[in-house]
A = this chain, B = another copy of it.
Amino acid sequence: MATTLATARLVLLVALVAGSTSCGGAWELSGLRMPTAARAVQAAAERFVEEEVAAPVIHALRPLVGSAGDLGWRGGVPCDSWRLAVETNNKRDWRTVPARCERYVGNYMLGGHYRRDSRVVIDEAVAYAEGLQLAGNGKEVWVFDIDETALSNLPYYASNGFGTKPYDATSFNAYVFAGSAPVLPETQRLYNKLISLGITPVFLTGRRENQRAITVANLRREGYSGWMKLLLKPVGYNGTAIGFKSDERRKLQDAGYVIVGNIGDQWSDILGAPEGARTFKLPDPLYYIG
Protein backbone atom coordinates (compact mmCIF):
# COMPACT_ATOMS: atom_id res chain seq x y z
CA MET A 1 0.00 0.00 0.00
CA ALA A 2 2.76 2.42 0.95
CA THR A 3 4.67 1.47 -2.16
CA THR A 4 1.63 1.97 -4.33
CA LEU A 5 1.05 5.40 -2.87
CA ALA A 6 4.69 6.33 -3.33
CA THR A 7 4.63 5.21 -6.93
CA ALA A 8 1.45 7.08 -7.60
CA ARG A 9 2.97 10.13 -6.02
CA LEU A 10 6.01 9.95 -8.24
CA VAL A 11 4.00 9.53 -11.37
CA LEU A 12 1.86 12.48 -10.41
CA LEU A 13 4.94 14.50 -9.58
CA VAL A 14 6.44 13.87 -12.97
CA ALA A 15 3.19 14.75 -14.66
CA LEU A 16 2.68 17.92 -12.70
CA VAL A 17 6.22 19.16 -12.86
CA ALA A 18 6.77 18.28 -16.49
CA GLY A 19 4.07 20.72 -17.42
CA SER A 20 5.84 23.59 -15.72
CA THR A 21 9.42 23.06 -16.87
CA SER A 22 9.97 23.50 -20.52
CA CYS A 23 12.99 25.77 -20.36
CA GLY A 24 16.58 24.58 -20.32
CA GLY A 25 18.58 24.00 -17.20
CA ALA A 26 16.05 21.84 -15.43
CA TRP A 27 17.64 19.13 -13.38
CA GLU A 28 16.60 15.79 -14.69
CA LEU A 29 16.69 12.81 -12.41
CA SER A 30 15.77 9.76 -14.47
CA GLY A 31 12.08 10.46 -14.46
CA LEU A 32 12.09 13.12 -11.79
CA ARG A 33 12.52 16.53 -13.28
CA MET A 34 13.82 19.21 -10.96
CA PRO A 35 12.03 22.44 -11.65
CA THR A 36 14.87 24.65 -10.46
CA ALA A 37 14.97 26.65 -13.63
CA ALA A 38 11.26 26.97 -14.20
CA ARG A 39 10.60 30.66 -14.43
CA ALA A 40 7.14 30.59 -12.94
CA VAL A 41 8.36 28.64 -9.96
CA GLN A 42 11.38 30.87 -9.54
CA ALA A 43 9.14 33.90 -9.52
CA ALA A 44 7.21 32.36 -6.67
CA ALA A 45 10.43 31.72 -4.79
CA GLU A 46 11.36 35.35 -5.14
CA ARG A 47 8.28 36.39 -3.24
CA PHE A 48 10.19 35.98 0.01
CA VAL A 49 9.49 32.29 0.29
CA GLU A 50 12.10 30.52 2.37
CA GLU A 51 10.48 27.20 1.56
CA GLU A 52 10.99 25.33 -1.64
CA VAL A 53 10.21 26.24 -5.18
CA ALA A 54 8.60 22.86 -5.72
CA ALA A 55 6.85 22.85 -2.38
CA PRO A 56 3.41 23.61 -3.82
CA VAL A 57 3.74 20.57 -6.06
CA ILE A 58 4.44 18.21 -3.19
CA HIS A 59 1.85 19.82 -1.00
CA ALA A 60 -0.73 19.34 -3.70
CA LEU A 61 0.25 15.72 -4.03
CA ARG A 62 0.00 14.92 -0.37
CA PRO A 63 -3.28 16.29 0.89
CA LEU A 64 -3.73 13.36 3.25
CA VAL A 65 -0.53 13.87 5.16
CA GLY A 66 -2.11 16.18 7.68
CA SER A 67 0.32 17.70 10.10
CA ALA A 68 3.31 15.60 9.13
CA GLY A 69 4.80 18.25 6.93
CA ASP A 70 5.02 21.24 9.21
CA LEU A 71 8.22 22.19 10.96
CA GLY A 72 7.59 19.63 13.64
CA TRP A 73 6.89 22.38 16.12
CA ARG A 74 4.37 20.25 17.98
CA GLY A 75 6.03 16.89 17.70
CA GLY A 76 9.59 17.53 18.79
CA VAL A 77 12.56 19.11 17.10
CA PRO A 78 11.57 21.49 14.28
CA CYS A 79 12.62 19.91 11.00
CA ASP A 80 14.69 22.83 9.82
CA SER A 81 16.64 22.88 13.10
CA TRP A 82 17.03 19.11 12.86
CA ARG A 83 18.48 19.49 9.36
CA LEU A 84 20.91 22.18 10.49
CA ALA A 85 22.03 19.98 13.39
CA VAL A 86 22.68 17.17 10.91
CA GLU A 87 24.58 19.37 8.49
CA THR A 88 26.79 20.82 11.23
CA ASN A 89 27.61 17.39 12.71
CA ASN A 90 25.89 18.25 15.96
CA LYS A 91 23.41 15.43 15.40
CA ARG A 92 25.21 12.11 14.98
CA ASP A 93 24.47 8.41 14.72
CA TRP A 94 20.87 8.94 13.70
CA ARG A 95 19.14 6.11 11.88
CA THR A 96 16.15 7.68 10.18
CA VAL A 97 14.73 11.08 9.35
CA PRO A 98 12.00 11.86 11.90
CA ALA A 99 8.70 10.66 10.46
CA ARG A 100 7.10 14.09 10.86
CA CYS A 101 9.87 15.58 8.67
CA GLU A 102 9.19 13.44 5.59
CA ARG A 103 7.36 16.20 3.77
CA TYR A 104 9.86 18.81 4.88
CA VAL A 105 12.80 16.76 3.59
CA GLY A 106 10.89 15.94 0.42
CA ASN A 107 10.31 19.61 -0.21
CA TYR A 108 13.92 20.38 0.54
CA MET A 109 15.28 17.73 -1.80
CA LEU A 110 12.87 18.06 -4.71
CA GLY A 111 12.49 21.80 -4.59
CA GLY A 112 15.16 24.34 -5.25
CA HIS A 113 16.59 24.45 -1.75
CA TYR A 114 18.89 21.43 -1.95
CA ARG A 115 20.15 22.56 -5.32
CA ARG A 116 20.73 26.10 -4.10
CA ASP A 117 22.59 24.93 -1.02
CA SER A 118 24.73 22.62 -3.16
CA ARG A 119 25.50 25.40 -5.58
CA VAL A 120 26.93 27.60 -2.86
CA VAL A 121 29.20 24.81 -1.62
CA ILE A 122 30.47 24.18 -5.14
CA ASP A 123 30.98 27.88 -5.77
CA GLU A 124 33.23 27.96 -2.70
CA ALA A 125 35.10 24.87 -3.86
CA VAL A 126 35.63 26.28 -7.36
CA ALA A 127 36.86 29.59 -5.96
CA TYR A 128 39.24 27.74 -3.66
CA ALA A 129 40.57 25.57 -6.51
CA GLU A 130 41.05 28.54 -8.81
CA GLY A 131 43.05 30.29 -6.11
CA LEU A 132 45.50 27.43 -5.58
CA GLN A 133 49.15 27.74 -6.51
CA LEU A 134 49.51 24.43 -8.31
CA ALA A 135 52.71 22.53 -9.03
CA GLY A 136 51.07 21.02 -12.09
CA ASN A 137 53.04 17.81 -11.69
CA GLY A 138 50.07 15.46 -11.94
CA LYS A 139 50.34 14.61 -8.26
CA GLU A 140 47.65 17.01 -7.11
CA VAL A 141 44.40 15.18 -6.55
CA TRP A 142 40.90 15.93 -5.31
CA VAL A 143 38.93 13.25 -3.49
CA PHE A 144 35.26 12.82 -4.39
CA ASP A 145 32.74 10.71 -2.58
CA ILE A 146 30.15 9.13 -4.90
CA ASP A 147 26.68 8.72 -3.35
CA GLU A 148 24.98 12.09 -2.82
CA THR A 149 28.20 13.72 -4.04
CA ALA A 150 28.99 12.64 -7.61
CA LEU A 151 25.74 10.72 -8.13
CA SER A 152 22.31 11.15 -6.60
CA ASN A 153 20.17 8.44 -5.04
CA LEU A 154 17.24 10.80 -4.79
CA PRO A 155 15.07 8.70 -7.15
CA TYR A 156 15.38 5.86 -4.62
CA TYR A 157 14.77 8.00 -1.56
CA ALA A 158 11.89 9.88 -3.16
CA SER A 159 10.00 6.63 -3.48
CA ASN A 160 11.12 5.31 -0.09
CA GLY A 161 10.01 7.92 2.40
CA PHE A 162 12.87 10.41 2.06
CA GLY A 163 14.98 8.72 4.70
CA THR A 164 12.17 8.15 7.19
CA LYS A 165 12.36 4.37 6.76
CA PRO A 166 15.19 2.24 8.13
CA TYR A 167 17.96 1.44 5.66
CA ASP A 168 17.01 -1.54 3.52
CA ALA A 169 20.12 -3.06 1.96
CA THR A 170 18.20 -5.24 -0.48
CA SER A 171 16.19 -2.52 -2.16
CA PHE A 172 18.99 0.01 -2.01
CA ASN A 173 21.52 -2.34 -3.57
CA ALA A 174 19.01 -3.18 -6.26
CA TYR A 175 18.86 0.54 -7.00
CA VAL A 176 22.65 0.78 -7.12
CA PHE A 177 22.93 -2.23 -9.43
CA ALA A 178 20.44 -0.65 -11.81
CA GLY A 179 23.22 1.85 -12.52
CA SER A 180 20.79 4.66 -13.12
CA ALA A 181 21.74 7.14 -10.39
CA PRO A 182 21.69 10.61 -11.95
CA VAL A 183 24.53 13.07 -11.85
CA LEU A 184 24.62 15.84 -9.26
CA PRO A 185 25.25 18.65 -11.71
CA GLU A 186 26.88 21.04 -9.25
CA THR A 187 29.47 18.43 -8.32
CA GLN A 188 30.13 17.70 -11.96
CA ARG A 189 30.76 21.39 -12.53
CA LEU A 190 33.50 21.25 -9.90
CA TYR A 191 34.83 17.99 -11.31
CA ASN A 192 35.22 19.43 -14.79
CA LYS A 193 36.74 22.63 -13.46
CA LEU A 194 39.37 20.67 -11.54
CA ILE A 195 40.35 18.69 -14.62
CA SER A 196 40.70 21.92 -16.56
CA LEU A 197 43.00 23.19 -13.79
CA GLY A 198 45.15 20.05 -13.88
CA ILE A 199 43.86 18.61 -10.60
CA THR A 200 43.14 14.90 -10.85
CA PRO A 201 39.89 13.46 -9.45
CA VAL A 202 39.94 10.36 -7.26
CA PHE A 203 36.72 8.63 -6.24
CA LEU A 204 36.64 7.23 -2.71
CA THR A 205 33.40 5.54 -1.82
CA GLY A 206 31.73 3.31 0.71
CA ARG A 207 30.41 1.23 -2.18
CA ARG A 208 31.92 -2.26 -2.31
CA GLU A 209 34.33 -3.83 -4.79
CA ASN A 210 31.53 -6.01 -6.16
CA GLN A 211 29.81 -2.80 -7.27
CA ARG A 212 32.84 -1.56 -9.22
CA ALA A 213 31.63 -2.41 -12.71
CA ILE A 214 28.17 -0.92 -12.30
CA THR A 215 29.61 2.13 -10.57
CA VAL A 216 32.03 2.78 -13.41
CA ALA A 217 29.22 2.33 -15.91
CA ASN A 218 26.96 4.69 -13.96
CA LEU A 219 29.65 7.35 -13.63
CA ARG A 220 30.47 7.17 -17.34
CA ARG A 221 26.83 7.23 -18.35
CA GLU A 222 26.39 10.41 -16.33
CA GLY A 223 29.30 12.11 -17.99
CA TYR A 224 32.22 11.56 -15.63
CA SER A 225 35.58 10.62 -17.10
CA GLY A 226 39.25 11.14 -16.42
CA TRP A 227 39.45 9.99 -12.81
CA MET A 228 42.72 8.46 -11.65
CA LYS A 229 41.41 5.93 -9.16
CA LEU A 230 38.12 4.52 -8.01
CA LEU A 231 38.65 3.30 -4.44
CA LEU A 232 35.92 1.01 -3.10
CA LYS A 233 35.57 -0.90 0.14
CA PRO A 234 36.65 -4.55 0.09
CA VAL A 235 33.55 -6.75 0.23
CA GLY A 236 34.45 -8.10 3.66
CA TYR A 237 35.52 -4.78 5.18
CA ASN A 238 33.68 -4.06 8.41
CA GLY A 239 35.48 -1.05 9.83
CA THR A 240 34.00 2.43 9.99
CA ALA A 241 33.60 4.70 7.00
CA ILE A 242 35.84 7.27 8.60
CA GLY A 243 38.54 4.67 9.22
CA PHE A 244 38.37 3.28 5.70
CA LYS A 245 38.45 6.65 4.03
CA SER A 246 41.20 8.08 6.22
CA ASP A 247 43.35 5.01 5.53
CA GLU A 248 42.84 5.34 1.79
CA ARG A 249 43.74 9.02 1.86
CA ARG A 250 46.85 8.17 3.85
CA LYS A 251 47.86 5.67 1.17
CA LEU A 252 47.42 8.34 -1.47
CA GLN A 253 49.67 10.68 0.45
CA ASP A 254 52.23 7.94 1.05
CA ALA A 255 52.27 7.32 -2.70
CA GLY A 256 53.28 10.93 -3.25
CA TYR A 257 49.95 12.49 -4.04
CA VAL A 258 48.86 15.82 -2.57
CA ILE A 259 45.19 15.92 -1.65
CA VAL A 260 44.34 19.54 -2.38
CA GLY A 261 40.63 19.04 -1.77
CA ASN A 262 38.08 16.53 -0.51
CA ILE A 263 34.32 16.68 -0.92
CA GLY A 264 31.49 14.55 0.38
CA ASP A 265 28.00 14.66 1.79
CA GLN A 266 28.87 12.90 5.06
CA TRP A 267 31.15 14.15 7.81
CA SER A 268 32.77 10.72 7.70
CA ASP A 269 33.93 11.62 4.19
CA ILE A 270 35.91 14.62 5.36
CA LEU A 271 36.93 13.99 8.98
CA GLY A 272 39.93 11.91 9.99
CA ALA A 273 43.56 12.74 9.19
CA PRO A 274 44.70 13.23 6.54
CA GLU A 275 41.56 15.09 5.58
CA GLY A 276 43.00 16.88 2.59
CA ALA A 277 44.14 20.50 2.44
CA ARG A 278 40.55 21.68 2.38
CA THR A 279 37.24 19.91 2.80
CA PHE A 280 33.73 20.63 1.58
CA LYS A 281 30.48 19.27 2.96
CA LEU A 282 27.56 18.90 0.57
CA PRO A 283 24.07 18.78 2.06
CA ASP A 284 22.42 15.46 2.82
CA PRO A 285 19.40 15.22 5.11
CA LEU A 286 18.53 11.68 3.90
CA TYR A 287 20.86 9.41 5.84
CA TYR A 288 23.84 9.25 8.19
CA ILE A 289 27.02 7.24 7.79
CA GLY A 290 29.34 7.31 10.78
Contacts and interface: CB of A to CB of B under 8 A. Distances in A.
Interface of A: 42, 45-46, 48-51, 69-71, 73-74, 77-78, 80-82, 84-85, 87-92, 113, 116-117, 119-121, 123-125, 280-281, 283
A190 B81 CA distance: 18
Nearest 7 interchain pairs by C-beta: A50-B50, A81-B120, A85-B120, A81-B116, A81-B117, A88-B281, A90-B121
A88 B125 CA distance: 13
A105 to B, nearest CB: 13
Nearest to A79: B50
Contact of A84 (B42, B84, B89, B90): B84
Contacts of A80: 50, 113, 116-117
Contacts of A71: 45-46, 48-50
Contacts of A283: 84
A120 B92 CA distance: 12
Could you say how many copies of this chain the assembly holds?
2
A211 to B, nearest CB: 28
Contacts of A74: 46
23 contacts: A46-B70, A46-B71, A46-B74, A48-B51, A48-B69, A48-B70, A48-B71, A50-B51, A77-B120, A80-B117, A81-B113, A82-B120, A84-B87, A85-B121, A85-B124, A87-B88, A88-B88, A88-B281, A89-B281, A90-B120, A90-B121, A90-B281, A91-B120
A119 B89 contact: no
Contacts of A69: 48
A220 B117 CA distance: 40
A94 to B, nearest CB: 10
Contacts of A46: 70-71, 73-74
Contacts of A42: 73
A91 B124 contact: yes
Contacts of A281: 88-90
Nearest to A46: B73
Contacts of A124: 85, 90-92
Contacts of A92: 124
Contacts of A88: 87-88, 121, 281
Contacts of A120: 77-78, 81-82, 84-85, 90-91
A67 B84 CA distance: 26
A209 to B, nearest CB: 31
A42 B74 CA distance: 11
A73 B125 CA distance: 20
Nearest to A114: B81
A127 to B, nearest CB: 10
A148 to B, nearest CB: 14
A48 B80 CA distance: 11
